[in-house]
Amino acid sequence: MVAGGAAAGRSARTLPGVQLWPGVQPWPGVRPGWSRTVEVPSTAACDRPGTVHRWHVLDNGPELQARGVEPAGTLLCVHGNPTWSYLWRSLLAAATDAPASHDSASHDAASHDAAPWRVVAVDQLDMGFSARTGTFRRLADRVGDLGDLTAALGLARRGDPRPVVTVGHDWGGIISLGWALRHREPLAGVVLANTAVHPAGFSLPPALRLALHPAVHGWGTTTTPAFLRVTHALARPALAPAVRAAFMAPYLTPARRAGVGNFVADIPAGPGHPSWPALEEISSGVRTLDVPALLLWGPQDPVFSDRYLRDLLDRLPHADVHRFEGAGHLLPEDRDIASPVLRWLGSTAGSAPPAESAPPAELPVPAGTPEAAGAPGAGTEAEAAPYRALTAELEERRADRTPAIVDMAPLGLARRGTSRGPDPRTLSWAELAADVGALARGLASAGVRPGDRVSLLVPPGIELTTLIYACLRLGAVAVLADAGLGRAGLGRAIIGAGPAWLVGIDRALAGARLLGWPGARISVGPVSGARRRALGVRHTVPELLSAGRRLTAGRDPDPLPAPEPDAEAAVLFTSGSTGPAKGVSYTHRRLAAMRDTLKATYGLQAGSALVAGFAPFALLGPALGATSVTPDMDVTAPRTLTATALARAVAAVDATAVFASPAALANVLATAGDLDSAGRAALGRVSLLLSAGAPIPEPLLARVQELVPRASLHTPYGMTEALPVTDIDLPGIREAGTGNGVCVGTPVAGARVRVLPLSAAGVPGSVPTAGADITGEIVVAAPHVKERYDRLWITQQESASLPGWHRTGDVGHFDAEGRLWVEGRLGHLLTTPEGIRTPVAAEHAAASAPGAGRAAVVGVGPAGTQAAVAVVEAVPPVRRAGPAEPGLAARVRAAVAAGTGIRLAAVLVVPGLPTDIRHNSKVDRTALAGWASRVLAGERAGSP
């Protein structure tokens, strides 16, 4: 029965869908008991008094009632144009089938991931299978109509303790928000997917401008089903024929499409539109909503692009956000949004939150391991060092005239990677402190405010360092995504972060203009008037520096307020080697903890000097008090570092420490023959060399040791989310020997590392352990672990699902001495008939076979029955990818079987393994697995 009075109860009935859509009932994914109609008295000004409309809804309430389940609350789902309630069928199913708790006030943590909710998905009047009213309904009418329906259903009766959460898509978003503003008492939250609440200074999207054009509007939206077909074609992937037919079912004739045309015509494109006042009222009122909010977004939407997401975040700054890369306008069709919505509901809205939970129990640490023995840097999580701002070192060294930064390739004067640039530029500590202070004030005078995001598209060096520390000093958030992501990846990162400001070199600004990247433009260097206009440049860094100096000249200005330690400081992007690059948010406190960890682990004290061939360390140099040298290379392409460029950088400041990636070191070795005696002597004075970013084989490290004979060689393990996590030196690597994976050593100062044991199906458990020879997902706890993933709520929930730990997605084990071995990624596990297998040891074995170079081992076929396939780079290289010649295949098979017991089903060769651009060394096993599957299926798949 439908709640809300006798009249409403008598009118509830199953919709005769078979008559509306002959031969097909129920619609795919819709249970027959959900479909019903309700007679609802109208209060709309466009209707005559006493008018009653028949509404169609999909409602799982009766099914829950029949099962004796008391729902946690009600989801009021509102579709846009030209869809109908069918859009919400997956949410209906998930909310209906969620496990019920007998005591809704005492859910445990697990049950909060999903609980039964009543879902009422409406067909708006003149839409779906609801009544065709014969009147033109404006935005205000539709908000009122929804209120009439919920009153008839009894969903928002005064004093009713059951919460209501609105869910809206497309133009259903603003209508649902209008209802929410009028029904605050029962409102427990809002969920929005690809919608807009205001043009916000933007012109209408081209698709909507075309639909509104007088020559197109009637024909495209009503006379023909063109508007519907174009909308359905936006699905990614394409809709199944039966699903497409279901979406078309209510709109088979022009008469039934009148509401579609009227809906488009009611888009408030400007202040003169009749619905503009209602739009203004709702869009401004949204700022007053203090209930939990969840924004789910498909970035490939040609109608509601990310600029509308940024506008919503400006109005709902507390909202949780998840952007589904690759998804578009029909997000509920493109991705599973039901699971995250229910998980979000359980954790934030409508239900009593779970009690504060302590970190989960751990299996005991085996006796005799470094942690059990209390070894320094390898034990229990250390007491976090007192907070000291990253800019504190600059403030304290304002009178220091010694070098702070040396740039071996001055911006715009030499092509990085040539090793033949002009004389290096040097900035002293005093100059750096003054420039950082002046630029912070200049940025503030230009309108940059604390909390504003500033995308920095500038190569590492003096300019980038000054900009980063100016943003830190001001409290702006530095967004750092390097060009190594490629144009598409870089664009996804910048658009996803949604910066208010974008600072870049000329090439970056041109790309931003061409590709529509967000942010007011600031040029890092001078720019001519014509070029300035072409690129849309508002300011230049030299202008802002001059403005900041003028503001402080001859007087003692009021100091800029210091940012709060737990305010957001930076968004750093991952390499993209395990999927689209993810934004990782750090607070000032967590970045400071990263600095303190590096200082404690490697003894990097103020006064030391380092060569930063690996970008993350270049940024922390000033915070460490260390002189930083940026070598003549393209840091986004590590293989551009030559031995001569490295030696020149070391000699420039008599550096004692070098940070570089494995790919950079490989090229240093390849060009070592070009070194002169002075260069070899300079490298001979290095005392510490760190290679981070990817595993590095012992033979390569041994050759590096010959170049830097006095240096202690370390290969820290870490990730953008936590850098570093563990550390090992060359003697430690040799002591560990060979094993199942790559030995990455013991935890760094202040970090705890464990594994979650894998089940037979490859699923991680929930009890962390450091026990020997137990393979599982690697988890880490440390003060310098990221704050969260940026605008990736689902990803963040998954990574933090074990309280107190960050789930890395890497798989590994500890040996009897407490050393961690990395065996691969969770997503790269091979699920064979013999059980779970990890790829790294097999790859090392394959690469050891005569005639084989780098190798990847991937699983092909259905989970549980996968066949292991090796993909190798042959030595010498092959020109075409395909099956390996029989001799090489036999040698690789034998090496893998002897080393790991894995029997390879096939051996394929490629000219080169696909790797991520940033490190040039992390193999994309996912791409290889797909390619290998196609090759073995007989397709002409080319190269991966």
The pLDDT tens digits of the residues spanning 471-522 come to: 999 999 999 998 778 888 999 999 999 999 999 999 999 999 999 999 999 9
Closest CA to 567 of 451, 443, 440, 393: 451
CATH number at residue 443: 3.40.50.980
- The answer to whether residue 802 sits within a structural domain is no
Q: In this structure, is residue 134 part of a structural domain?
A: yes
- Residues sharing a CB contact under 8 Å with residue 782, sequence separation 6 or more, in sequence order: 381, 593, 597, 722, 725, 748, 750, 751, 752
Residue 352 confidence (pLDDT): 36
The last residue of a domain, from among 715, 742, 768: 715
416 shares its domain with 482 = no
pLDDT in tens, 272-329: 999 999 999 999 999 999 999 999 999 999 989 999 999 999 999 999 999 999 999 9
Q: Report the domain count for the chain.
A: 4
Quick check: 369 and 752 in contact, CB under 8 A?
A: no
Q: Judge if 627 and 643 occupy the same domain.
A: yes
Say if residue 445 is in the same domain as residue 341: no
Give a yes or no: residue 779 inside a domain.
no
Which has the minimum average pLDDT: 52-61, 266-275, 461-470, 891-900? 266-275
CA distances from 826 to 174, 261, 805, 830 (A): 40, 49, 17, 9
Domain boundary among 715, 738, 772: 715
CB-based contacts of 45, cutoff 8 Å, min separation 6:
141
- Please tell me whether residues 507 and 545 are part of one structural domain: yes
Helix residue spans in 266-330 (DSSP H): 276-285, 306-315
Contact call for residues 34 and 75 (beta carbons, < 8 A): no
Q: Are residues 611 and 552 in the same domain?
A: no
25 CB-contact burial (10 Å; exposed 0-12 / middle 13-18 / buried 19+): middle
Task: Give tens-digit pLDDT for 334-386.
Answer: 999 999 999 999 987 544 333 334 556 777 666 655 565 444 444 444 456 79
Whether residues 416 and 506 fall in one domain: no
DSSP bridge pairs for 746: 727
Cα(826)–Cα(810) distance, integer angstroms: 6
Could you give the CA distance from residue 769 to residue 362 in angstroms, rounded to a whole number?
6
108 shares a domain with 173:
yes
* 416 and 455, same domain (yes or no): no
Pair (545, 609) in one structural domain: no
Domain with residue 83: its CATH number is: 3.40.50.1820
Residue 483 belongs to domain spanning? 428-563
Same domain, 321 and 445: no
Same domain, 89 and 185: yes
- Specify the pLDDT at position 114: 64
- Closest listed residue to residue 286, CA positions, set 180, 203, 167, 199: 180
Chosen domain end from 715, 744, 760: 715
Kindly state whether residue 731 falls inside one of the protein's structural domains.
Answer: no
Pair 410, 494 in one domain: no
Confidence of residue 575 (pLDDT cuts 50, 70, 90): confident
Residue-wise pLDDT tens digits, 820-846: 999 999 999 999 988 899 999 999 899
In a domain, 207, yes or no: yes
Q: Which residues contact 931 (CB under 8 A, 6 or more apart)?
A: 871, 881, 941, 943, 944
Residue 876 belongs to domain with CATH number:
3.30.300.30
Q: Is this prediction's pTM over 0.95?
A: no
In a domain, 902, yes or no: yes
Residue 729 domain flag: no
Is 522 contained in some domain?
yes
Q: How far, in Å, CA of 681 to CA of 863, rounded? A: 55
